[in-house]
Structure 1
Amino acid sequence: KFSEEQQKQLRSNPFIEKVSETSITYTKEFKERFYKEYHLGKGPSAILRDMGIDPTLLGKRRKDSLVRRVNVYEERIDGYQDMRGKNSGRHSIKELSDTDRIKRLEHQIRYLKQENEFL
């Protein structure tokens, strides 16, 4: 967990949008730049230092997670945009094809049957 002093230090960085005791939200620019520099062969700690973030403050686990996440962001349709709170992640049934809708309903039937057997 980040102390109040560490949170204050992180908030002062222009590449960080939000900081809480347990999480950091980076800007879109940060994620894009981190991805590019990482794939040019630069290490995560060096990239963070260049962007004014103390890598020891984050620790190994957060740095490893950051590398994984920026690689995922690069593959997403939404790219590096933070989509939390804007998308429930669940597709509307209206968007499904007939085949997918049938599969979903069959799954729901199987689930309800199991639930009834349990009761």
Structure 2
Amino acid sequence: MGIHYFTEEQVKELKQNPNVKSVSIKGITYHKHFKNHFLIEHAKGKLPRQIFIEAGFDDEVLGESRINNSSNRWRKQSKRLEGLNDTRQRNLGRPKTKHLTKDEIIERQRLEIEYLKQERELLLELERLERLAIKKEKLSPGKNMKSSKD
């Protein structure tokens, strides 16, 4: 149970499959049309292994864990807002900085000020409640002593 790398021959074989977008010795990227086909066939009751074999893949080359992991990943992705779209290209590295207009800058600052005001009000309320709890505790030390003597 470890990482299963492909041999150069297996990479060449996988590149010939029309369902493969790209392949390296470490992994495969499948075309979106194959992922959609997979989900449709899986919904009809076919097993993941069977779908891959019918699509021209050698299940011995891919391995059971790679097939099952792809199946689980695609089913989860299909429920996302982005669907099966590959989001890796958009999520690499630092976020791109956007040049904001003066109105956008003002709006962001206005929202930040509003947020900070609300945060300040919450902290003041917490301090007030803490002072109130301490005051109540000081006013009723007899109850605490009686319960500790019993």
Shorter-chain TM-score above 0.5: yes
In the alignment, which residue of structure 1 is the partner of 2:55? 51
User: In the alignment, what sits opposite 1:34?
Assistant: 38
Q: In structure 1, what is the equivalent of residue 66 of structure 2?
A: 62
CA distance in 2, matches of 1:70, 1:51: 16
- Taking the TM superposition and a 5 Å limit, the aligned residue runs for 1:1-119 are 1-88=5-92
- Moved runs in structure 1, 4+ residues, more than 3 A? 88-92
Q: CA RMSD in A?
A: 2.4
One-letter identity of the residue aligned with 1:35: L
Letter of the 1:84 counterpart: R
Unaligned runs of 5+ in 2: 97-107, 117-150
SS in 1 for 2:21: strand
User: Counterpart of 1:36 in structure 2: which amino acid?
Assistant: I
**Contact preservation (8 Å) 2:49, 2:64:** no
- What one-letter code is carried by the residue in structure 1 that aligns with 2:72? R
Q: Which has the higher contact order (CA 8 A, sep 6+)?
A: 1
Taking the aligned partners of 1:63 and 1:42, their CA distance within structure 2 comes to 13
What displacement does 1:66 show? 0.9
Q: Amino acid of the residue matched to residue 10 of structure 2?
A: Q
Percent identical among aligned pairs is: 36
Residues in 2 aligned to 1:64 and 1:90: alpha-carbon distance in whole angstroms: 32
Unaligned runs of 5+ in 1: 103-119
> Number of aligned pairs?
97
TM-score by length of 2: 0.58
Change over 3 Å in CA distance of 1:14–1:87 after alignment to 2:
same
AA partner of residue 32 (structure 1) = N
- Structure 1 Cα separation of the partners of residues 74 and 25 of structure 2: 22
